[in-house]
Amino acid sequence: MNTNRGDIRRNLDWLTIFLYGFLVLLGWTAIYSAGYDAAHTGIFDMEAEHAKQLVWIGICTLLAVVILNIEGEFFIRFSPISYLLSLLLLIAVLFIGKKIGGARSWFGVGAFSIQPSEFAKTATALFLAWYVTRTGIKFNALSTRLIAAIILAIPAGLILLQPDAGTVLVFSGFVLALYREGLSGNILLAGFGAVVLAVVAILSGAAIIDYPFYGEQSGIWTMMIVMLLFGILGVFFVRSFVLPRKRKRVFRILAFSLVGALAFSYTTYVGIEQILQPHQRERIYVLFGMEVSNPDADYNIRHAKAAIGSGGWFGKGYLNGPMTRYDFVPEQNTDFIFCTIGEEWGLFGSLIVVAMFVVLILRLIHLAERQRSQFSRVYGYSVASILFMHMLINIGMVLGVAPVIGIPLPFFSYGGSSLMGFTILLFIMIRLDAERYSVFR
């Protein structure tokens, strides 16, 4: 593995680097606009967030250069250590972290704050790739899958304790990478089924139905009774139409999915109605267009949609969006940064941003597929999946098609941890890809 610098530069995927640069710079212009004040236009006014972000961009550029100069082998060997390190940080943050917005997700270091979960994503991706590609590991063995699940579950569980539901959801993206490695396609079906069940459970759980003998109770019971009836119907169906020798197997699948579905629906119901904070519950109700008691429950999303919707075909022009400039949109330079694009650049600009993300993600899949090293492939898919989940949740949220869950839009949102996390995540892949001809595995 003696790769000289010349080779690396020649083999770098400049398209990915260009997309990264484009998104980061466009993100910076959006941050500048969101905080724009006609009286203070100085780019280097260190009070302003756009100036701080500029510093972060500089740091990340250096970081990218450093990463590109580290041999890929280092990242592979470093994987277990980085994973353990990030677990330690995730545990530590629960005890000594700063509480911001009800969650303990940040370390406060002087004027700066660092969010360990941003780095945990990279570490988990590295360690997962390291584990499933170890010599002697058979991916289709149940134990391998269980351990892979545990590798994902530990950081996800720690992050859930902060609590930061958005980042936890991002972790479900790893399923796509594992699916590529041979996880049964049923996992995708199960995922789809879970989304459908969750929606039905939320809707029926919030409904109040007048039951005979029991009076007014939640509609979740109706849903569960209906599912049971379908199960019984299924039994008769199997008896009449399935060959006897196959019956046992079909019964098992039927029983397994029925119990799973019942348990999942009920857990969702309890989770929404009893575990979630009232404001979180209302955000979910708002998403489904249900009545909520607090008139401001949908304040964020109402204003976000108004900002994007007012953009029209080509937007109101750069620095000319009153919804974002005059603070109508909350968190306008972090989680709701996409609103600035929507308002100022219209459908045209919004579609370009969405397209850039899609091209970047598809490019990463392409890079992953051309690797000879399985490690690089798993890692590549993980990077693509993480970016995809972020885009899905963040843009879905501001468009009002996903619940309001605060996670940043990669490369766009203001914040050093997030930009650094994504830079490291992406540039490790670029470095691994640049070495693709030197790997003999």
Partner 1 sequence: MNFGNRRYIITAIILAFAFIFALRLLTLQVVSDSYKAKAAELTEEKIRIYPSRGLVYDRNGELLVANRAIYDLMVVPRKTKAFDTLAFGELVNMTVDELRVELKKARKYSRHKASVIKKQIDPDIYARISEKLHRYPGFFAQARTVRSYQKGLGAHVLGDYAEAGPSEIEKDHYYRSGDYIGKSGIEMTYEKELRGKKGAKYVLVDVRNNVQESLSEGKYDTSAVAGKDLYITIDAELQAYAELLMSNKMGSIVAIEPATGEILTLVSAPSFDPNLLVGSNRGENFRKLQVDSLKPLYNRATQGLYRPGSIFKMVQSLVALQRGSITKDTRIACNRGIIGCHGSHSFDDLEGAIIHSCNPYFHQVFKRMIEPGETTNRFKDSQIGIGRWNSDIKKFGFGSNLGSDIPGIKEGNVPNQKYYDRIYGELGWAFSTIYSMSIGEGELLINPLQMANLAAIIANRGWYHAPHVIKSIGDEGKPERFLEKMNTGVNEEYFTTVVNAMEKVVAQDGGTARRARIEGITVCGKTGTVQNEPYPDHSVFIAFAPKDNPKIAISVYVEYSVFGGTWAAPIASLLIEKYLNDSISDPTKEERIIEQSFGMPKKK
Residues binding partner 1 (CB under 8 A): 38, 140, 176, 179-182, 185, 188, 302-303, 305-313, 322-323, 326-328, 342-343, 346-347, 350-351, 354-355, 357-358, 361-362, 365, 369, 381, 388, 392, 395-396, 399-401
Q: How is residue 150 written in tokens?
A: 């545990």
- CA pair distance 154, 76, nearest whole angstrom: 20
Closest to partner 1 by CB, 114 vs 389, is 389
Closer by beta carbon to partner 1, 103 or else 194: 194
Say which amino acid occupies 41. T
Q: Which is nearer to partner 1, 8 or 176 (CB)?
A: 176
Q: Which is nearer to partner 1, 84 or 188 (CB)?
A: 188
- Rounded distance between C-alpha atoms, residue 122 and residue 83, angstroms: 9
Report the SS3 class of residue 337: coil
Using the minimum distance from each CB to partner 1, give the nearer residue, 155 or 349: 349
Q: Which residues pair with 217 in a beta bridge?
A: 209
Closest to partner 1 by CB, 157 or 322? 322
360 vs 366: CA distance, rounded Å: 10
Which residue number, 272 or 308, has a Cβ lying nearer to partner 1? 308
Smallest separation, CB 346 to partner 1 (Å): 6
Least distance in angstroms from the C-beta of 426 to partner 1: 17
Q: Decide if 329 contacts 322 (C-beta within 8 A).
A: no
Q: Whose Cβ is closer to partner 1: residue 277's or residue 296's?
A: 296
**CB count in 10 Å sphere of residue 309:** 14
Question: Which residues, at least 6 apart from 48, have a Cβ–Cβ distance to it below 8 Å?
Answer: 35, 40, 42
Other Cβ atoms less than 10 A from the Cβ of 182: the count is 13
Nearer CB in complex with partner 1: 104/305? 305
Q: Is 139 exposed, middle or buried (0-12, 13-18, 19+ CB in 10 A)?
A: middle
CB 418 within 8 A of CB 118: yes
CB of 328 to partner 1, least distance (A): 5
* Beta carbons of 245 and 253 less than 8 angstroms apart: no
126 and 82 in contact (C-beta within 8 Å)?
Answer: yes
At residue 111, what is the residue type?
A
Provide, rounded to whole angstroms, the least separation between the CB of residue 342 and partner 1: 7
**Least distance CB 149 / partner 1 (angstroms):** 19
Q: How far is the CB of 148 from partner 1 (least distance, A)?
A: 15
Amino acid residing at 149: A
78 sits in which H/E element: helix 72-96
Shortest Å distance, C-beta 324 to partner 1? 10
Question: Using CA of residue 248, residue 254, residue 255, residue 257, what is the dihedral sign?
Answer: positive
Cβ pair 295, 7 in contact under 8 A: no
For the bound state, the minimum distance from the C-beta of residue 399 to partner 1, rounded and expressed in Å, comes to 5
Contact 420, 393 (CB under 8 A): no
Burial label for 269, CB within 10 Å (0-12, 13-18, 19+), is buried
Min separation Cβ 181 and partner 1, Å: 7
Indicate the residue among 75 and 381 with the shorter CB distance to partner 1.
Answer: 381
Q: How far is the CB of 326 from partner 1 (least distance, A)?
A: 3
Q: What are phi and psi of 141, to 5 degrees?
A: -75, 140
Q: C-beta of 270: minimal distance to partner 1 in Å?
A: 29
Q: For residue 173, what are its two tokens?
A: 């993206």
